[in-house]
Amino acid sequence: MRKFNIRKVLDGLTAGSSSASQQQQQQQQQHPPGNREPEIQETLQSEHFQLCKTVRHGFPYQPSALAFDPVQKILAVGTQTGALRLFGRPGVECYCQHDSGAAVIQLQFLINEGALVSALADDTLHLWNLRQKRPAILHSLKFCRERVTFCHLPFQSKWLYVGTERGNIHIVNVESFTLSGYVIMWNKAIELSSKSHPGPVVHISDNPMDEGKLLIGFESGTVVLWDLKSKKADYRYTYDEAIHSVAWHHEGKQFICSHSDGTLTIWNVRSPTKPVQTITPHGKQLKDGKKPEPCKPILKVEFKTTRSGLC
């Protein structure tokens, strides 16, 4: 059996380390510390870089309009910069932008039809097709002589009602997106004996039980129930304070208005002389039956019914 010699192994390790140190010394002599290699010249400049959006997170900035399709469960949000965000089930989201950049003042879904109408501050209406991978505008309609203030599209209707700052209401055919010849003029809607202008249209809605009856709210405080077939007003309701919002009771026999002084007025459709009830929900109630102190305007009101019958 061959004997193992540990001395030869140690001598081999010593020789290997000495040769490695000699190579390192030679490299230092060839490249002394004072003579560094020339730095790599950078060719990238500031114009080679550009910021871009990769993701949008959270609720849209400066929201100005909102709409919801209760059948397809789609939420649409418009902003003051003309952006349009669509939210579906978790993980489903889409972003669109109006080319003009004008603020979105109102949105109306064509319920369960995969379409949406947007009204902009530049008095333009757009019809969006949502039934494709990337939503796109199908039709546009520009109002040149009047400013758009309010829009209403009844359920499963092809007629879009457009109220203006002059107090008139124009009717648009949604299928062709063109104006019809039917116009509700403000001077025909209010009392013929009244010479004062009722102000811009701030509300339009159809009676829940009769789509042929249209409720029109003017900023000055006047509300008109218009018969579309006979083309005349059935009733007119007048209140001293400006109107901000109107809502129907689901039975179609009453409606409620919110006003600039913080009051809510409830009206019976067939009793136009005075409201059946006046409420100041946020005002301080005074003693001795005096009128409550006015407070900030109520900008939006909804007429809901609970199981106990309270609204």
Q: What is the CATH number of the domain that holds 108?
A: 2.40.10
Domain-terminating residue out of 142, 159, 174: 142
- Whether the CB-CB separation of 158 and 151 falls below 8 Å is answered with no
- Looking at 116, 142, 168, the residue that finishes a domain is 142
**Same domain assignment for residues 130 and 229:** no
Q: pLDDT value at position 31?
A: 54
Same domain, 122 and 185: no
Measured distance CA(240)–CA(147) in Å, rounded:
25
The token duo for 61 is 């900035």
pLDDT at 223 (0 to 100): 95
The enclosing domain of 231 has a CATH number of 2.130.10.10
Query: Phi and psi (nearest 5°) for 101?
Result: 75, 5
Indicate if 133 and 167 belong to the same structural domain.
Answer: no
- Examine residue 11 and state whether it is found in any structural domain, yes or no: no
Walk along the chain (311 residues) and give the pLDDT tens digit of each residue. Answer: 555 555 655 566 565 566 656 666 665 565 555 555 567 777 788 888 888 776 677 788 899 999 999 999 999 999 999 999 999 988 888 999 999 999 999 999 999 999 999 999 999 999 999 998 889 999 999 999 999 999 999 998 999 999 999 999 999 999 999 999 899 999 899 877 577 899 999 999 999 999 999 999 999 999 999 999 999 999 999 999 999 999 999 999 999 999 998 999 999 999 999 999 998 888 776 666 667 777 889 999 988 877 666 55
Per-residue model confidence (pLDDT) at position 123:
95
Specify the pLDDT at position 294. 74
176 and 266 co-located in one domain: yes
Residue 25 belongs to some domain of the structure: no
Print the domain residue range for 287. Answer: 145-310
* 94 lies in some domain: yes
Compute the distance between CA of residue 186 and CA of residue 199 in angstroms, rounded to an integer.
9
Burial degree of 44 (CB within 10 A; 0-12, 13-18, 19+) = exposed
Element (H, E) at 189: helix 186-189
| Same domain membership, residue 261 and residue 124 | no
> Is 47 contained in some domain?
no
Check whether residue 186 and residue 83 sit in a common domain. no
Contacts of 87 (CB under 8 A, 6+ apart): 74, 75, 76, 77, 93
Determine, yes or no, domain membership for 122: yes
User: From CA 271, how far away is CA 263, in angstroms rounded?
Assistant: 19
Domain boundary pick from 103, 123, 142: 142
Q: Specify whether 191 is located in the same domain as 67.
A: no
Pair 87, 157 in one domain: no
Residue 274 lies in a domain: yes
Decide if 217 contacts 265 (C-beta within 8 A).
no
1 in a structural domain: no
Q: Model's pTM, two decimal places?
A: 0.78
**Domain match, 77 and 153 both:** no
Number of domain units in the chain: 2
